[in-house]
Amino acid sequence: MRRMLRFGRLFFFSPAKAAAACLESAALVNGLSIYAVTLLASAVFLCCKPYDFPDANAPTPLGPQGIFFWLKVLLWQPLLMAALIGFCGALLRWLKEGWLPLKVASSVLWSAVPLILTILYVKNILPKTSFAVLLALWAAPVFLVARRIPAGEWRTLAAFLLGLNVIELAALPLQAAVTLLRWEAGYKGVVGLAGLWMLLCGALGLKALPPSRPLARALLALLFALVLQITVVIAAFMLGWLPPETLKALLYG
């Protein structure tokens, strides 16, 4: 527990030191522990939070939203976390070198493809077989880039991105406080600041994470990875794999 706390504390004010700590043998276990505690604490908070806050016009839930509902919703989170790690690793390698405008343009195009394919498939413009083939072709470059990344780099990246969730964990008491006050602007402010803090600390940490890279490239890789993570959620909903209530919970809480 003490190791986990010491590890988590680094992410708040010393992202570079957190990146260095991710090279230690216990870093991945510490990151997984922080992530597990964050998921459990989030489930408890969401279970207690009124469904119509911060959105006063939110429709009444179709069924009860107790602790088991939220634990079921959060079962999607490890899959999304794994996707974030995979996307971020591939994008860090892709954006590390080369002419940045070209790399950014290609990343934007690549990030948009799965959502475009999903929309075409849902509207019956694209047959199922063509959808599957094109999606596989889209994913092929990711696997090609990922295979070139050593296992040690994957471990340190996973430890860092998992540990970064400690910022979300620290924000939960503040979210609970503004929820009790029914302060909508305060709630959105806490969520927004926590997200911005995670993005900033994430970029600074990824810059220092071996092999190091410029801050702008680290930030862009993280941004594109987050966009792709959201795209996965939206695509799963459009394909009918994700119930509306679960989508709302994952995106908005």
Give 217 or 69, the one with higher predicted confidence: 217
- What is the value of pTM for the model shown? 0.91
Region at 210 (left for phi over 0; alpha for psi -120 to 50; beta for the rest): beta
Whether 222 has a pLDDT exceeding 90, the answer reads yes
Give tens-digit pLDDT for 166-186.
Answer: 999 999 999 999 999 999 999
pLDDT given for residue 167 in this prediction = 96
For 130-154, the pLDDT digits (tens) are 888 888 888 888 888 888 899 999 9
Note the pLDDT of residue 90. Answer: 94
Residues making up the chain, counted from first to last: 253
pLDDT band for position 252 (50/70/90)?
A: low
Closest C-alpha among 128, 82, 88 to residue 111: 88
Peptide bond into 54 cis (omega under 30): yes
pLDDT digits (tens, 9 = 90+) for 68-95: 888 888 888 898 999 999 999 999 999 9
Residue 231: how many CA atoms within 13 Å on its side-chain side? Answer: 20
- Provide the pLDDT for residue 188: 92
In the predicted structure, residue 113 carries a pLDDT above the cut 80:
yes
**Domain count across the chain:** 1
Average pLDDT of the chain, as a whole number: 89
Q: Which amino acid is at 225?
A: A
Q: How confident is the model at residue 29 (pLDDT cuts 50, 70, 90)?
A: very high
Q: Residue 72 is part of which domain span? A: 2-252
Task: Say how far apart CA 28 and CA 15 lie, in whole Å.
Answer: 16
